[in-house]
Amino acid sequence: MTDTFRLTRRALLAAGAGAALTPAFSASRLMAAEANEVVVGTWGGDFGNTLKMAVDDAIMKPMGYTVLQEISGPVPRRTKILAERMNRRGSLDVACLADFDTYAASAVGALADVTRERVPNSAHVLPFLRKSYAIPQIYSAHTIVYNKEMIPTPPASIQELWNPKYKGKIGLSDFLYTTNMAYAAMANGGSMSDFGPAKKGLEAWKALDAKVLASTEAVGAALKSGEIWMTIIAAARGYMWSQQGIPVGWSIAEEGAFPTTYEACVPKNARNLDGGFVYLNAMLDPSAQTAFSKKMGYLPTVTNAKLDPDLEKLIGFTEAQQQRLWTPDLSYIMKNQAQLLDTWNRDFKG
């Protein structure tokens, strides 16, 4: 398609507001624009940049697609899908979200089914990551990440997160309240289907003057400066920080760790349903998968993406570590998310 005919939806709306399209313009040109444009809701920063480089430009553009990234936080993206699900057409063709967000959207019937016919590369997805309503794009685990200069020995137990000798040196991301509460629950007799005991852990953190940090970037800065020595965050993030010269390591404790999977889905009412599935297929391409591993430290979700052995040593999980990963009860998290946030704010931050 030539540049003359590459009109975006925004351009069409701006040019045609309040006026009917002329017969010579409307049918063929509008259909061409819609068929070749894919609107992707995503994070910005390293994620959005890597997505643009490895998927939008490297794979989609040569196939004749124009990709528009709609950058926002995950809550607005999920809210948009849920709010628009009864509309004839939604505003996103693809949404990148965490696993519990795609689960919530699927639970109300907002997502189109992912099949091998629609997404051929899904045949290579690791069995434990397969879903019928989304593709797993990248995965890691929220582990104990620590400053190696302050804590030379990798923490072997999640109980170290409540060790009195680290008073004032534990920092927790406000954004990861669900993960933090999962750790607090598991440390106090709870389970992935019962976060009730987390309250005891939150109160203990508060007594130890654990810090609440507003963003992932703030956590990294605090680890770098020595303001905090230990946190709970993705091992992949620890890898990224180590590549930036921050002296951090990560540890999957003997009790396990909370897995984190970032997925992508196509709303049932996407304007470009076919283009959305082409995009999901491109996200599973081995070249796109390894690009995210090299840049961000997340593991591939497909069996045919091979990592360099040296990189595998830095970011990979052993079989024993994989077996220790917890299995989140996504139904429980979805049903109790408002209560979890209230408990986090009231009993820890309050």
| Count of beta carbons in the 10 Å neighbourhood of residue 52 | 17
Tell me the pLDDT tens digit for each residue of 193-202. Answer: 999 999 999 9
Supply the pLDDT for residue 9. Answer: 42
pTM of the shown model: 0.83
β-strand 230-234 against 37-42: which pairing, if any?
A: unpaired
Instruction: Give one DSSP letter per residue of 127-189, joined into a string.
Output: GGG--SS-EEEEEEEEEEEEETTT--SPP-SGGGGG-GGGTT-BEEEGGGHHHHHHHHHHTTT
Report the alpha-carbon distance of residue 54 to residue 293 in Å, rounded.
11
The reply to whether 141-259+324-349 shares the fold of 3-138+261-313 is: yes
Which among 249, 255, 258, 253 has a CA at the least distance from the CA of 156? 253
What is the mean pLDDT of the segment spanning 135-157? 97
CATH number of 3-138+261-313: 3.40.190.10
Of 334 and 6, more confident: 334
The band of 123, judged by pLDDT with boundaries at 50, 70 and 90, is very high
Is pLDDT at 4 greater than 60 in this prediction?
no
Is pLDDT at 1 greater than 50 in this prediction?
no
Supply the pLDDT for residue 33. Answer: 53
Contact 170, 227 (CB under 8 A): no
Give the position of tokens 């063929």: 28
**b (16+ CB within 10 A) / e for 60-82:** beeeebbbebbeeebeebbebbb
Please provide residue 303's backbone torsions phi and psi, each rounded to the nearest 5 degrees: -75, -20
What is the mean pLDDT of the segment spanning 124-153? 96
Is pLDDT at 341 greater than 90 in this prediction?
yes
Alpha carbons within 13 A on the beta-carbon side of 272: 27
β-strand 135-147 against 248-251: which pairing, if any?
A: antiparallel
Tell me the pLDDT tens digit for each residue of 174-221. Answer: 989 999 999 999 999 999 999 999 999 999 999 999 999 998 899 999
The band of 30, judged by pLDDT with boundaries at 50, 70 and 90, is very low
The band of 133, judged by pLDDT with boundaries at 50, 70 and 90, is very high
Is pLDDT at 261 greater than 80 in this prediction?
yes
Can you give the residue ranges of every domain in the chain?
A: 3-138+261-313, 141-259+324-349
Q: Is 255 exposed, middle or buried (0-12, 13-18, 19+ CB in 10 A)?
A: middle
Those residues with Cβ within 8 angstroms of residue 54's Cβ, 6 or more apart along the chain or in another chain: 287, 288, 291, 292
The band of 309, judged by pLDDT with boundaries at 50, 70 and 90, is very high
Supply the pLDDT for residue 35. Answer: 75
CATH 3.40.50.11540 assigned to domain 141-259+324-349? The reply is: no
Of 261 and 19, more confident: 261
Contact 274, 88 (CB under 8 A): no
The band of 107, judged by pLDDT with boundaries at 50, 70 and 90, is very high
Cross-strand partners of 262? 98, 138
Instruction: Give one DSSP letter per residue of 73-129, joined into a string.
Output: -HHHHHHHHHHHTTSSS-S-SEEEEEHHHHHHHHHTT-BPPP-TTT-GGGGGB-GGG
Supply the pLDDT for residue 204. Answer: 97
Report the alpha-carbon distance of residue 205 to residue 161 in Å, rounded.
8
Supply the pLDDT for residue 17. Answer: 38
Is pLDDT at 23 greater than 50 in this prediction?
no
DSSP summary character for residue 2: -
Supply the pLDDT for residue 34. Answer: 66
Distances, alpha carbon 256 to alpha carbons 100, 148, 198, 322, in Å: 19, 20, 16, 9
Is pLDDT at 13 greater than 70 in this prediction?
no
Mean pLDDT of the chain: 90
Is pLDDT at 8 greater than 70 in this prediction?
no
Of 215 and 23, more confident: 215
Please provide residue 330's backbone torsions phi and psi, each rounded to the nearest 5 degrees: -65, -30
Is pLDDT at 31 greater than 70 in this prediction?
no
Give the position of tokens 């995210």: 292
Is pLDDT at 19 greater than 90 in this prediction?
no
What is the mean pLDDT of the segment spanning 105-134? 97
